[in-house]
Structure 1
């Protein structure tokens, strides 16, 4: 659960910084 929370926080920070779509897709696949 803790790992998931950290992953979500990283995902949100990534959106704020405007990461590439490929990175976002990789994060989604990881979940």
Structure 2
């Protein structure tokens, strides 16, 4: 189960980074 938890955390971090980038992107072009 440890591996699965780490994988989920990694995916969550990636999603967070993508979310922040898209938010900055929108602010930049608004």
Which portions of structure 1, spanning 4 or more consecutive aligned residues, are displaced by more than 3 angstroms?
none
What TM-score do you get using the length of structure 1 for normalisation?
A: 0.57
Unaligned runs of 5+ in 1: 20-31
Query: What is the aligned-residue RMSD (CA, Å)?
Result: 1.6
- The CA deviation at 1:10 is 0.1
Q: Pick the structure with more helix per residue.
A: 2
What TM-score do you get using the length of structure 2 for normalisation?
A: 0.59
